[in-house]
């Protein structure tokens, strides 16, 4: 009791320093004050590139405006003026392509043609233009099978004339080309649909033939 009384008296007189009690710092405060935020390195996701098939096969059909040398064109124009005569103008395209490493270009082979088929009272008269050669398709703004494309064909050209009055006749081989543009729409099942407008010219037996065509195609 004497010691306690002396201690109280000393504090009252200011002779002793105040008692300071050391308190432990809470663990939470230590963590907040000393720990640095944990930064976790996360890989930046990379969008996978769409897979491009190595080979494409295109089939297309459509309408055509065939233009013949002047003498033949005059005869056909007169033929069209006959009452009750029926005429169908058409084009077709079968092409096989190989995609290139730039993912925008395809090169391959094409077999395409156009024709005018006349029918009058059961009699038929048909004119066909054919082109067999190399074909190239390029997508300037997107990958193969998606969006706007341009196309060029170059190769051997020939004609076939067929009628109900005799056997079919084929011309000598000549030179032909085709230039066009189209738009392609991809699908989730790997098939592309497209529409194409083009112009083609042919030089056969020293005479000029040409065609303006429009077709719808499917590629797979």
Tell me the three state secondary structure of residue 209: strand
CA 45 – CA 42 distance, rounded (Å) = 9
Q: Which residue has the higher pLDDT, 155 or 24?
A: 155
How many other β-carbons are positioned within 10 Å of the β-carbon of residue 218?
A: 14
CA distances from 215 to 89, 93, 115, 218 (A): 12, 9, 13, 10
Query: The whole model's pTM is what?
Result: 0.73
Categorise residue 206: left if φ over 0, alpha if ψ from -120 to 50, beta otherwise: left
How many other β-carbons are positioned within 10 Å of the β-carbon of residue 160?
A: 15
pLDDT per position as a tens digit, 159-215: 999 998 888 899 999 999 999 999 999 998 889 999 999 999 999 999 999 999 999
Q: What pLDDT is recorded for position 67? A: 96
pLDDT per position as a tens digit, 89-148: 999 999 999 999 999 999 999 999 999 999 999 899 999 999 999 999 999 999 999 999
**The CATH number fitting domain 55-219, selected from 3.40.50.300, 3.90.930.12, 1.20.1050.10, 2.40.160.20:** 2.40.160.20
Q: State the Rg of the chain over Cα.
A: 41
pLDDT tier at 15, thresholds 50, 70, 90: low
Residues of the chain with CATH 2.40.160.20: 55-219
């Amino acid at each position: 009791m004497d010691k306690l009384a002396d201690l109280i008296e000393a504090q009252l007189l200011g002779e002793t320093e105040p008692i300071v009690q050391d308190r432990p710092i809470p663990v939470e405060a230590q963590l907040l004050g000393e720990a640095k935020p944990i930064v976790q390195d996360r890989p930046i996701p990379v969008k996978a590139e769409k897979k491009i098939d190595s080979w494409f096969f295109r089939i297309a059909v459509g309408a055509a405006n065939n233009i013949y040398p002047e003498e033949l064109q005059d005869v056909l124009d007169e033929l069209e003026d006959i009452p009750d005569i029926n005429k169908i103008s058409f084009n077709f395209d079968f092409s096989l392509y190989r995609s290139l490493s730039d993912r925008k270009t395809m090169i391959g082979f094409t077999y395409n043609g156009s024709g005018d088929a006349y029918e009058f009272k059961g009699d038929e008269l048909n004119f066909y233009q054919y082109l067999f050669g190399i074909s190239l398709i390029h997508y300037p703004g997107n990958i193969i099978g998606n969006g706007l494309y341009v196309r060029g064909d170059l190769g051997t050209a020939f004609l076939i004339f067929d009628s109900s009055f005799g056997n079919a006749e084929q011309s000598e081989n000549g030179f032909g080309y085709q230039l066009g543009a189209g738009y392609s729409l991809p699908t989730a099942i790997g098939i592309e649909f497209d529409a194409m407008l083009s112009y083609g010219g042919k030089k056969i037996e020293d005479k000029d033939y040409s065609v303006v065509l429009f077709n719808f195609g499917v590629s797979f």
